[in-house]
Amino acid sequence: MTQAADLPAPAARTSPTEPLSGARRLLRAAAVASCVPYLSLKVAWIAGSHVGIPEGSSLLEHRGLMAAANSLTVLMDGAVIVLALLLTRPWGRRVPAWLLGLPMWAATGLLLPIMAGFPAQLAVRALGGDPLSAVRAAAAVELTHNFTLLHDDVMDRDATRRHRPTAWTVFGDADAILAGDTLQALAQRLLAEDPHPGAPAAAARLATCVIELCAGQHADCALESRAPDEVSLAECLAMAEAKTGALLGCACAIGAVYAGAGADTAEALDGFGRQAGLAFQLIDDVIGIWGDPARTGKPARADLAARKKSLPVVAALASGTPEGVELAGLYGRATAEGAQGDLERMARVVERAGGRDWAQLHAADRMSRALGELARAVPDPERAGGLLALAEFVTRRPY
């Protein structure tokens, strides 16, 4: 399987440096049970294939294909891994990007198929730069994203992700945590070794982003221990922006840096990514309650069973309605194992209290703000086409 540590330097195509056996073992262990098979494909596509983004391509063009392929998730898992292995061969660099992208999108169950690093290349293209110049930076963002997923699964005790067992359930907490640490270190090494003049600024942005991500995760964990009526919408929105919006904003801003754009443009693209990321999280929270397990890969009502203070739930709690009071009572007591009826009741109460409608409307509002920031950075809609397609996908995921 292609290892993230094997990324070739873009300027000098030297043979890959062999990583330490311990690091290789940790990465392989995480890959088997979690998202690293997909990561390997993504990184190989970005940094190994030297294909880049096809001219005139748009995520919208593949939306129908993604929906149709979603039913073939299990078969596509194998296809992704096989393609990742093929990419380790020299001729694998000539495999077209679209051929690699379609099975990856299907295999991940349509959960963030555009990946965390891809917006960096979209931003470079939108600003008139060469997307190939940012391949290592995009891969670094994607490595960082997957490091957070490995750690999140340990902290949240989630048993599945994308229809597969999570790493900690198969290999234990220690290996899952260490694999995540390794991915983060590899991300920083990629930028440290990148000869692009924007690499130091990108490394600083990514490090700052990781600090914000950790602060957001800490806030999320702290909210779980507080009583339902002690949590406000404002702090939940701030937490969601730190956990989800920050990384997408960072990826877009790094694209601006690699395109040689000014600070104002970088900040506008950061704002675009943050607002789009928050819209994504709002829809993701809706999916966490009302999503179809066959599509999400998670048990039905998983967020309610875990008593998560997700945004629809907190909106319902703050609604001032009788249903909000009822929900606070339900959230304040433990649910017996397997009491699916209680979870169904909570889902109905959240919806009657307006939590679902609020989340969907607020996602649309955040996306409107995102598009405003994008227009400030890239006024030409044609040039911004890739990022516009990304924005549309964020709020139109099937569940």
Pick the more confident residue, 129 or 89.
129
pTM score, two decimals? 0.71
Model confidence over 361-393: pLDDT tens digits? Answer: 999 999 999 999 999 999 999 999 989 988 887
Kindly state whether residue 4 falls inside one of the protein's structural domains. Answer: no
Look up residue 327 and give its two tokens.
């929900």
Give the model's pLDDT for residue 335: 56
* CA 330 centroid distance within chain: 31
| Residue 69 pLDDT class (50, 70, 90 cuts) | very low
Q: Which of 70-84, 118-132, 184-198, 320-334 has the lowest mean pLDDT?
A: 70-84
Distance, in Å, from the CA atom of 357 to the CA atom of 39, rounded to the nearest integer, reads 34
Kindly state whether residue 145 falls inside one of the protein's structural domains. Answer: yes
Model confidence over 23-51: pLDDT tens digits? Answer: 444 444 434 433 444 444 344 333 333 33
Residue 335 is classified by DSSP as P
Calculate what percentage of the chain has a pLDDT beyond 90.
50
Distance, in Å, from the CA atom of 107 to the CA atom of 127, rounded to the nearest integer, reads 31
| Residue 115 pLDDT class (50, 70, 90 cuts) | low
| Residue 334 pLDDT class (50, 70, 90 cuts) | low
Kindly state whether residue 33 falls inside one of the protein's structural domains. Answer: no
Judge whether residue 82 has pLDDT over 90: no
The CATH number linked to 370 is 1.10.600.10
Contact 229, 317 (CB under 8 A): yes
Judge whether residue 9 has pLDDT over 90: no
Instruction: Look at the chain and report how many structural domains it folds into.
Output: 1
Structural domain range at position 367: 116-395
Strands (E), the chain: 160-161, 164-165
| Residue 298 pLDDT class (50, 70, 90 cuts) | low
Phi, psi of 354 (to 5 degrees): 95, 5
Pick the more confident residue, 4 or 124.
124
Torsion sign (Cα): 301, 303, 309, 312: negative
Residue 117 is classified by DSSP as S
Model confidence over 139-168: pLDDT tens digits? Answer: 999 999 999 999 999 998 888 887 788 999
Distance, in Å, from the CA atom of 129 to the CA atom of 345, rounded to the nearest integer, reads 52
Judge whether residue 112 has pLDDT over 60: no
Nearest to 179 by CA among 371, 5, 394: 5
Tell me the C-alpha to C-alpha distance, in Å, between residue 374 and each of 2, 47, 267, 362, 389. 35, 26, 10, 18, 12
